[in-house]
Chain A
Amino acid sequence: MLMVKADIIYTVSGDPINNGMMLVDDRGKIEDIGVDLTVSENCEVLDISDKVIIPGLIDAHTHVGMWGDGEGRDSYDGNEYLRPITGEVRAIDGVNPMQVSFEGAREGGITTVQILPGSGNPIGGLGFACKTWGKVIDDMIIKDPTGLKGAMGENPKRTHGKGFGHTPISRMGVASMIRDYFEQAKEYGKKKNLANQKGEIFDLDLNLESGWMALERKIPFRIHAHRHDDILTAVRICEEFGLDYSIEHCTDGHLIGDHLGSKKITAMVGPGLSPSTKVETANFTDANPALLAEKGVNVCLITDHPFLNCRYFLTYGAVAHKYGFPFDETLRAMTLNPAKAIGIEERVGSLERGKDADFVVLSGKPFKYKSVIESTFIEGKQVWKRDII
C-alpha cells in the first residue's frame, strides 16, 4: 500500500483536491482518494505535500517505438507502404518497447499511448493502446486493437502516386480506394456470417477482417485528414458506411468548425506546435483546439510523436490553453477525453477509485514554465524521475 500526499490533486473527473491524499493498493489501483484519509500502519507514505499531481497523460495518436528515433531508417516500421491497402498489418508488431521514445513519453508525463500505423496508406492497419513502461509489449497492452488507421490527402498521394507511380495518385483515388475497401469488407462480412450460420468452413482474410470489425463498430476508423476538404471526405465516407470514427490531426477543422461541431465528432488535434511543412497544413493554428472545442467538437490533444516530441506534450497543452482552450478542458483533452475515445476509461484517464494509479508529479500547477515534471508513476510505481543534469 502506498499513500500519496500532495498539495493539489487534479482528478480531472471531479474538482481538484487541496491537501489531497491518494491510497494505492498493491495491484497499483487507486483504493481511495480524498482528504484526511487514514494511513494504516504498514502503509508506505509518499509525502509530496508541496507538489501537484495530475493523472498520467494519454496521447491518443503516436508512433512511439516504431519511428526509429535516433536509430535511422533500419528502425522505421510505421508504414507498410508498398501497397496502399494494408488492413492486415498491426502496429503492435512494429513497436520496440525499449526504444528511447518510450522514455521520452515517461519524461513527458505520458503513461498511456495509442500507437497507430503511419499515414502512407489509405488503409494503414490496426492500432492499439499500451502503457509506456515495460519490456515486453504484450505485457504493456491495455487494449488491442483500438482502431483501424486510414489516411486522406497528401501522404498517400505522395507515397504511392509520386513515389511508386501507382494508384492512388489523386485525392479522388484515395477516397475511391477506401470506399472500395469497405465495400469488399461488407461483402466479406456477409459471407462470413452466412458461413457461420450454416456451419460451413470459411477462410479468413486478415485485410478485410479489419474492415469488417470497423463496419461492425467493434473498432473506430481513425482517419488522418488535415485539409478541410479531406476532413469532409473522411466524414462523408464514414457516414456512408455507418462507421465510428475519429478525425486524426483535423488541422483545418477551425475553418469548418460549425459543421464538425454539429456532428459532435471526435478530433485528435495535433501535432501541436507544428510547422506548416506541407500544403495541407498551411492553415495550422495553435488556436485550433480552442476553436474546435467551442463549436462542440470532442477534442483530444496529440503529439503524433515523433512529429512533436512527446516529451513536450504538456507544453503543447500550455500553448493550447494560451490560445483560449479553458484550463480544465485542456487537461481533460490530455487525459480523460483520449481515454474515452480509445475506450479504456474504466482503467485510465482520471484519478478515481478503482482506476490505475497512473500519475505525474509536478512542482506546481500545470501549464506554467516553473512547473516541471518531477516524476511519473504507472500503477503506483515510479517509472521516471528527474535528475539534476
Chain B
Amino acid sequence: MSTGNPAAVEKLSRREYVLAQRELRRKKMFALALVVPLLLFLFFAFVAPIGTMLYRGVYNPVVAELIPDTLQALEQWEGQTLPDDAVLNRLALDLKRLAQTRKSGKLAEEINRHWPGASSVIKSTARRMKRQTDEALLNGGADMIRVANKKWQRVEIWRAIKKAGQVYTDGYYLTALDLERNADGDIQQRESAQIYIKLYQKTLWMALVITFSCLLLGYPLAYYLANAPSKTANLMMILVLLPFWTSLLVRTTAWIALLQTNGVVNSTLMALKIINQPIEMLYTEFSTIIAMTHILLPFMVLPLFSVMKGIDPSLMRAAQSMGAKPISAFISVYLPNTLPGLSAGALLVFIISVGYYITPALVGGTDGQMISNIIAFHMQQSNNWGLAATLGSLLLVLILALYWIYDHFIGASNIKLG
C-alpha cells in the first residue's frame, strides 16, 4: 500500500511478509510453467538453429583440422612467391595421413571451391604420397609434390589453401554477395558468374509481385466477406480456409496438372481455338507466382477481414453525406482504417514468400527458382553448408531490414493479426 494516508499504512509482520512472498512466488512459477514448453520449443527449434547458422557462415574449421601442420607452416608466407620447401614437406606429410584415413577427398572438395581444378591435383598427389615413408617425405616431400603435379608450381593453389585454412572467414559472405578477394587481398566484384545478388533481387521481386497479387485478389474478397450477411460470409470463409485443410503438396501438384504443356489450361485454350500451340506455363516464373498467390491468399484475407469487420459501416455513409464521392470517401476514410490489416497481411505474405521453398521447387523449374532453392541446393547437393548458412543469414538480415524500414515508415504497432 503505497498510496493513501501514510498513518493508515500497516506494515506486514515478518510472518505475513513470508507468506505473501510465497504466494507471489507460486503465481510466478505457475505462469512460468505455462510458457516453458513454448520457450523450450522456441529455443531448440528457433534460436539455437539460427545461432548455429549465423556461426557457420563465418566459422569453417574443416580445412584447419585436415592439414593443421601445413597451415601453421604457411602462416609466415606472404603469398607473392611460391612457399619454401619446408611448407611443401609438411603438406606432403599431411596429404599422406589424409590419404591413409581416406579424407583427401574432403580436402580436395574444400580447396576446389576456392580454386577450381585443385580437386584432381590434391587427390592424385595424395595417392602418390600414400606410398612414401614419413622420413622420405619429411626430407624430400617437396620434390615429390612438384613431380606429382605441375600445378603445385602455381601460386594460386597455395593462396587457395591458405584461404581455405582460415577458421574464421568472410569468404562465404563475399561469395554470397558475388564478391571475391584479389591477389592483393582487396575485395572486388567476382569476375566469374554473378548469381546470388541477382537471385536475391529476383526473390524480392517475385515476393513483391505475389504480395501485390494477393492484395489485389484478397482486398475485395475480404471487403465482401466483412459486409455480407453472416450466413453467406460463413460459407465463403470456409472456402477461403479450405486450402488450409488440404496438403500443400496436393495444392502445388494441382497447379502442375493445370499448367503443364498438355494440362487443363492449355487443352481448354486449344479446344476454344484461342491458341494453336500450347503455351509453356509450367516451370516458369509465372507458374511460381500464380501457385504461391493461391497458397498465400488466406494469409492476406484473414487479417484484412478481421480489421474490416470492425469498421463501422456508417463511416462511408458519413463521408458521403459530407460531400465525398464514393471513391474519394474510400481512399480518405475506408482505406486508412484497413491499413493495420493490410500491412499485417502484406508483411505476412511477403515474408513467407521470400523464404518459400516447396512451391518454387516443384513448379518453378530453373526460371522460377528463389533463394531458398539455392540454399537447399548447397545443403543437399554441393554440400557447402557454410555458403548455405551464409545465404540464409543474409536472407534473415534482409527481412529484418525490410521490417525495420516498415516499422520506421508505417509503424509496426499498426499491425493487427487477428
A, B co-complexed: no
Give B contacts to A, CB under 8 Å.
none
Give A contacts to B, CB under 8 Å.
none
